[in-house]
């Protein structure tokens, strides 16, 4: 006679267990996609995209192990990834804006504010750590902004690579500084040019005709012709010379409310 408890004690197929965990948000699935830095693994669950990392030499097994260690949830390759999701992922990995949702449950409230602000920086542009800090109302927290960006669980998708040092140099990146330069170059930023401006202590550029000053990579700044371009070292210098801040790239913090 068969013991009725057999059906409870024998292990369930891994796929079935994963499906159950997936349904309640305790497991993720992943796909492999191309990116400007080579193939990446992207994980997601029913709340949103949860992780993105370079596909290392040890491949999917390594990724699944690292994911489980970092997030405490199992992740399995998705045999049938939704087509719409793939389309949005590919657009975001190519640097375009996308309507993807993210699962940032392991990120602090401050970290989520930093990542949300970084996500606003358009492709082909960069902003300093201090800009993010000022924009989220934590002007003195530029260093903490750098730390939060370094822990971005979805690099490339949320473009932490578009945030540079407050002195204008390219700076660190979770995937390494050369990778940061490479992905910025793929998006149309010239890292060498930014480093040259930083070395000359140029932080902002202004138009002598419109009297507006910008971050150097702002779309408006790029339209300034050579003859009318003025190089500036600080917002104070710009204001003293009669320039006002660009409304698009907001190169100086808005005055605090009284």
* Separation of alpha carbons 232 and 236, rounded Å: 9
Catalytic-role residue among 160, 214, 246, 249: 160
| 86-to-61, 80, 99 alpha-carbon distances in Å | 21, 11, 12
Of 119 and 214, CB closest to Zn ion: 214
Stretch that binds Zn ion, among 22-30, 38-46, 202-210, 214-222 (CB under 5 A): 214-222
> How far is C-alpha 69 from the chain's CA centre?
22
Stretch that binds Zn ion, among 3-11, 88-96, 215-223, 233-241 (CB under 5 A): 215-223
User: Which position among 54, 220, 230, 239 is part of the footprint of Zn ion (CB under 5 A)?
Assistant: 220
CB of 96 to Zn ion, least distance (A): 20
Residues 130, 223: contact at Cβ < 8 Å?
no
Q: How many residues sit close enough to Zn ion to count as binding (CB under 5 A)? A: 6
Q: Is 148 in the site for Zn ion (CB under 5 A)?
A: no
User: Which position among 118, 198, 214, 238 is part of the footprint of Zn ion (CB under 5 A)?
Assistant: 214
User: Which position among 218, 224, 232, 238 is part of the footprint of Zn ion (CB under 5 A)?
Assistant: 218
**Residue 160 falls in the annotated catalytic set:** yes
Of 55 and 121, CB closest to Zn ion: 121
**Residue among 77, 73, 75, 81 nearest 26 (CA):** 73
Angle between helices 177-186 and 191-199 (to 10 degrees): 110
Stretch that binds Zn ion, among 4-12, 111-119, 153-161, 220-228 (CB under 5 A): 220-228
Of 91 and 230, CB closest to Zn ion: 230
Strands (E), the chain: 28-33, 40-45, 48-54, 75-77, 127-128, 163-164, 204-207, 212-214, 229-232, 244-245
Element (H or E) spanning 121, and its range?
none
Interface residues for Zn ion in 229-258 (CB under 5 A)? 246, 248-249
Residue pointed to by tokens 């930093």:
114
* Separation of alpha carbons 240 and 231, rounded Å: 14
* Separation of alpha carbons 96 and 185, rounded Å: 15
Of 133 and 224, CB closest to Zn ion: 224
CB of 53 to Zn ion, least distance (A): 33
Interface residues for Zn ion in 63-122 (CB under 5 A)? none
Of 92 and 189, CB closest to Zn ion: 189
Greatest alpha-carbon span in the chain: 93
Binding site for Zn ion (CB under 5 A): 214, 218, 220, 246, 248-249
- Give the catalytic positions in this structure: 160
């Amino acid at each position: 006679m068969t013991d009725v408890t057999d059906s409870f004690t024998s292990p369930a197929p891994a796929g079935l267990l994963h499906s159950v965990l997936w349904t309640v948000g305790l497991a993720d699935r992943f796909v492999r996609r191309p990116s400007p830095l080579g193939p990446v693994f992207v994980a997601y669950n029913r709340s949103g995209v949860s992780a993105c990392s370079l596909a290392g030499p040890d491949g999917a097994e390594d990724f699944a192990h690292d994911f489980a260690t970092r997030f405490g949830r199992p992740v399995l390759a998705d045999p049938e990834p939704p087509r719409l999701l793939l389309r949005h992922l590919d657009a975001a990995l190519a640097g375009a804006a996308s309507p993807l949702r993210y699962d940032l449950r392991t990120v602090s409230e401050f970290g989520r504010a930093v990542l949300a602000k970084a996500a606003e920086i358009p492709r082909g542009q960069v902003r300093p750590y201090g800009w993010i800090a000022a924009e989220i109302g934590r002007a003195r927290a530029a260093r903490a902004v750098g730390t939060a960006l370094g822990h971005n669980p979805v690099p490339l998708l949320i473009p932490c690579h578009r945030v540079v040092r407050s002195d204008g140099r390219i700076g660190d990146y979770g995937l390494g500084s050369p990778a940061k330069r490479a992905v910025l170059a793929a998006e149309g930023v010239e890292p060498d040019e930014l480093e040259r401006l930083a070395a000359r202590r140029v932080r902002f550029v202004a138009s002598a005709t419109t009297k507006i000053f910008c971050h150097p990579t702002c779309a408006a700044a790029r339209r300034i012709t050579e003859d009318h371009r003025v190089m500036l070292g600080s917002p104070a210098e710009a204001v003293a010379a009669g320039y006002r801040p660009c409304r698009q790239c907001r190169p100086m913090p808005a005055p605090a409310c009284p």
